Each structure stands twice: as C-alpha cells, then as structure tokens.
Amino acid sequence: DSTPTVTVAEDGTDMVVSNKNDQIMVAETKYPIRVVNSESVVKLRVKLAEPTLRNLKAAFGGGTAGSNTATSMELPTDLTGIMLVHDSHPSTSLTENRRKVFRECYPSSDVSMVFKKSPNKTTVDVEFMAVLPENQTSPAIFLKPAGVSVAV
C-alpha cells in the first residue's frame, strides 16, 4: 500500500461546521436585506484506533509519511497536513459507499489519550481543522454512491 493510512475507531468521525454570518442592513429598514457568510470553519473530531506511530504522527501534526514500525518518534517542529477520507461502508463499491474527502487537515486542539490495560484499546482523540488547499474552492468534497439520485 503506497498511501499511508491512519486507523479510526468504530466511533467514526464527527464533523462540525461553524459559520459566521453577517447581516447587511440599510437605514430605511429594521430588517437585514441580505445575510452573507463571512467565515466557515470545518472541524473533524476523530478517535484514532490505537496510538501507533503513524496515528501519533498525524495527531501531532507530523503528517503520515514514514514507517509505522519505527521504535521512536519525536514531536514535530513543523506542521504537516494530512488528507482525511471517511468511507460510510467498508466496501469500495461506489454503489454502497458514501465518501467524504477532507483535502488538507491540521490538528487544531488538544490530543487526548487514556491509557488502558489489555484487552481494552487506548485511543487517540484529536480534532483536525480542514483548510482550503491551494487551487481549490472548498476544503471538502462529498461523493454520493453511483446510481443514487440526490435532490438539488
């Protein structure tokens, strides 16, 4: 597999979009004549399945490149973004899977781990912020399954 991956726990991914809207007012009326979106922030709350080196590297902003079998890791000094992809179904079939692609994401909050004894798994809770990549108009793309009609 040439693309390094991080493993997400069965809890899935929470996506939160925060919008800041501004009202356009004119002196002749007490109601806004238009509402415009002046800021949108896309955050993804992820529970990584285990504190593997690759998952830790992604959680601390070091990207995902490199070996998952290394014996140690230091905290990164420069942030490297990662692409997060969420598939709704384990199948790769386009008729069953709804895929969400967040093109460039960086950790934006605390990283939390609760160390547990076996057989319970330690998870890595991290919040990522999706940013607008160069030459793109949106930080995310949502793909519907083939053959499924979506009302516009």
Phi-psi region of 61 (alpha: psi -120 to 50; beta: other; left: phi over 0): left
- Nearest Cα to Cα of residue 7 among 54, 39, 35, 48: 48
- Nearest Cα to Cα of residue 37 among 52, 56, 22, 54: 22
**pLDDT (tens digit, 9 = 90+) per residue, 45-99?**
988 888 888 888 889 999 877 777 777 888 888 899 888 887 776 665 656 667 7
Q: What is the pLDDT of residue 150?
A: 39
How confident is the prediction for the chain on average, in pLDDT? Answer: 81
Residue 11, both tokens: 């809890």
Residue 147 in this model has a pLDDT that exceeds 60: no
